[in-house]
Amino acid sequence: MLFMKIVLAPQSFKGSYTGQEVCELLSEGILKAHPEAEIVQQPVADGGDGTLDILVYSRNGTYKEVTVLDSQQNDKVSSWGYFSDTKTAFIESASICGIASLAELEKKPLTATSYGVGQCIKQVLDEGIRHIVIGLGGSATNDGGTGLLSTLGVRFLDAQGTPLPQGGGYLGNLASVDISGLDSRLQQCRIEVACDVDNPLLGPQGATMVYSEQKGASDVDKDLLESGLTHFAALTKRSCGVDIAALSYGGAAGGMAAGLHAYIGAELISGADLVLDLVGFDKLIEGADLVITGEGRIDGQTVYNKAPIVVAKRAKQRGIKVIAVTGYVGDGYEAVFDHGIDAVYPIGTGGILMTIEKALSSQ
C-alpha cells in the first residue's frame, strides 16, 4: 500500500533522541522508500520530557532561566516557558527533578525531592504571572509533591513538630500538616497540571507500585514509599478535606499531581491532550493515510494515557492507521493494540525485549 500523507508524531526517546530528531530520522528513511510521500512532522509530548521545548517552539514562547535544586538537592540551572499571548507560564517538572539525566546509582527514590519545582513556581509568582501550567512526567521523585509544597509554605511536621527531611521515604513519620504559611498569591492563580499518566496515587496501579522501580526503588523501598504516601493521603484528607487516594491522574510524577490538587487547588488534566490541542494536531492529520508515533520504551505503562496512546485514539477516530516505533518494548506492550495502535516496531538490534542500556548501545 502506498501512503501519500504521513504524519510523524513521536515523543522524545528518553536518554537519546528528542521528538524532533526522531521525526527527522523517520523522514529520511521514509523518503528513501517513497520519495513522493507528503510528510508532516509534529513531535508531541505528554507533560514530561520535551514538553517545554515543543510548546515554546510551536507557540512562539520564550525561555526564562531559573536556578533550582534538582531531585538530589544539587543546584541546577533550568528554564520555564512564558507565552505572552495568554500571559501563561509553563513549568516542566522533568527539566527540574527529572530522572533522564541520572545514572542508575544516582537514583535515590527515598530522598528524591520535588523542592525545585516549588522554587520555579515562586519565581513565576514573583514575575506577576497568575496562570501557570505545570507539566508532570519523567520525575525521579516519589514524595507526593511535599517537596514543592514545602517551598511554597506548607509545613510537614513529625511528632516533635520538626519539619520532615525531603523525600517520600520520610512520609511515614508525618504527624501533622501546617498550611497557615502557604503563599497567599496562589489564591489568585489558575493552575493546571498536565499529567503524563492517569494512575491514582495509591494501590497496585498507583504511583509507587507502577513507577518507583524505574526510579531505583527496591521491593523494601516500595513498601516504605507506599506506606508513606498512604499516611500522607490520610493526613491530607484531615488537613484539607480532600481525598487524594484514588484520584485519577493523582499518581503522576510520584504523586506530585495529588499534592498540587489537594493543597493549591490545581486542576489535573491530560498532558498529551493539552499538547495535541495546542499544536493543532487534529487539523494536521486531516487527510492522512498513516500516523507514526512512538516513545523510547513501549510497555504496559504506555496505555495509562501516555502520548502515543492519545495520538492513536485521535487518529483512529478518523480511521487512520497507526504505527508506533520504539527503542525497545517491555512487559505488557501488547496492551497498546487494544488502544488504537496497529503495529509496534522496536528499532534496537537486540531483539524485541531488551534493557534500556542495550537499546541505547544499539543506536
Per-residue pLDDT reduced to its tens digit, 293-333: 999 989 998 998 899 999 999 999 999 999 999 988 989 99
Domain stop point among 272, 303, 330: 272
| Residue % of the chain over a pLDDT of 90 | 85
Domain identity same for 14 and 92 = no
What was the pLDDT predicted at 2? 59
Number of independent structural domains in the chain:
2
In this predicted structure, what is the pLDDT of residue 359?
Answer: 47
Q: Which of 216, 238, 272 is the last residue of a domain?
A: 272
CATH code for the domain in which residue 200 is found = 3.90.1510.10
* Whether 113 and 63 share a structural domain: yes
Q: Average the pLDDT over 347-363 and give the result.
A: 53
- Note the pLDDT of residue 93: 98
Question: Quick one: pLDDT at residue 363?
Answer: 46
Helices within the chain (DSSP H only): 19-33, 51-58, 94-97, 115-126, 146-151, 207-211, 219-240, 252-264, 271-278, 281-284, 307-316, 356-361
If asked whether residues 312 and 215 sit together in one domain, one would say no
- Residue 183 sits in the same domain as residue 217: yes
Residue 16: predicted pLDDT: 79
Measured in Å, how far apart are the chain's first and last C-alpha atoms? 28
| Same domain, yes or no: 14 and 65 | no
The residue that leads in pLDDT, 19 or 256, is: 256
User: Helix (H, G, I), strand (E, B), or coil: what is residue 221?
Assistant: helix
Q: Is 184 found in the same domain as 307?
A: no
Q: Judge if 23 and 68 occupy the same domain.
A: no
pLDDT value for 4: 87
- Decide if 198 contacts 249 (C-beta within 8 A): yes
Task: Report pLDDT for 111.
Answer: 98
> Is 351 a residue whose pLDDT tops 50?
no
CATH number for the domain including 20?
Answer: 3.40.50.10350
- Which of 272, 289, 309 corresponds to the end of one domain? 272
Q: Is the pLDDT of residue 130 over 50?
A: yes
Distance between CA atoms of residues 254 and 143, nearest Å: 6
Whether residue 240 sits in one domain with residue 195: yes
Q: Do 268 and 285 share a domain, yes or no? A: no
Domain that holds residue 155: 51-272
